[in-house]
Structure 1
Amino acid sequence: MHRNVAFAPLALVTLAIPSSAAEKDFLAGRVAGKPVTCIDPQMNNGPTIIDADTILYNANGRRLYRTGPVGKCPSLRPMTTLIVEIRSGQLCRNDLFRVLEPGTSIASAYCRFRDFTPYEKPKKP
């Protein structure tokens, strides 16, 4: 099965802060887990694009998944839209995505996802 799913980034909150600071802010207080190859796209609130190397998926408020492109994806930056091709019902490493710039109708060349590293807030005692 082949589905194209477009996710609009929720990057407005990162405009006023540098990319590395934005990533640290999102991941502050969270503990990194073992990287996974796939995540359930229906259990995630669309991506937040931090910079050209970092995409965050919010799984449930307690867990974020950090990923990015394999190699360079020059068009990837905050305020762009990801057009993701999901082929297996899950969002997986090496799945293809393209980037759509605001105000344009032609997407970028294809990019591929890396593994997804979970970052989880520790349970309160």
Structure 2
Amino acid sequence: MRQTFLIPALLASAVPVAPAIAAPRPSPEAQLEKLLAGRTAGQPVSCINPRISSETQVIDHTAIVYGSGRTIYVQRPGNARALSSDDVLVTRLSGTDQLCDVDVVHLHDRSGGWWHGFVTLNRFVPYTRTRVAAGN
């Protein structure tokens, strides 16, 4: 009797199960677009306060977003292809107390622990959340 129960159990375990299909990850541009939804771009600026950089988000191969709250700053650096959300961004300020478009950001791999390049900063574009009219 034991064999009759064992055979169906073995057959059941041999039936292939369809792997769970993960939802496709949005493209980097789509991720940035979602982050900027409901915000309006302002005039680019050369420097920002480095204290807001404690809230920094890297969009793979595309941009660095500094800050949070009503206004955020989008940095589309030179050599953005080197950017990865697994990077630790290491920046030395160039003689001022501001993070400026003349500064260089060095990339340090978070998991492997090695340096793997840098990006050069351009002007920062502020994006401000649009105010919703009362009653809407």
**TM-score bracket for the superposition, by shorter chain length:** 0.7 to 0.9
Name the residue aligned to 1:53.
62
1:28-51 CA-partner distances (Å, limit 9, x unpaired): 010000000000011344321112
Alignment of 1:94 with 2:105, yes or no, is: no
Tell me the percent identity: 27
Alignment of 1:25 with 2:42, yes or no, is: no
| 1:1-125 mapped onto 2 (5 Å cutoff) | 16-58=25-67, 60-70=68-78, 72-87=79-94, 88-125=96-133
In 1, the alpha carbon distance for the partners of 2:80 and 2:74 equals 16
User: Which runs of 5 or more structure 1 residues have no equivalent in the other structure?
Assistant: 1-14
User: Which runs of 5 or more structure 2 residues have no equivalent in the other structure?
Assistant: 1-23
Normalized per residue, the structure richer in strand is 1
Larger Rg: 2
In 1, the alpha carbon distance for the partners of 2:34 and 2:56 equals 16
Paired amino acid for 1:40: N
SS of 1:109's equivalent in the other structure is strand
Paired amino acid for 2:91: V
With CA pairs under 8 Å and 6+ residues apart, which has the higher RCO, 1 or 2? 1
User: How high is the TM-score relative to the length of structure 1?
Assistant: 0.76
Paired amino acid for 2:62: D
| Divergent runs of 4+, >6 A | none
The Cα shift of 1:79 comes to 2.1
The Cα shift of 1:16 comes to 4.1
Paired amino acid for 2:28: S
CA-atom RMSD, angstroms? Answer: 1.9
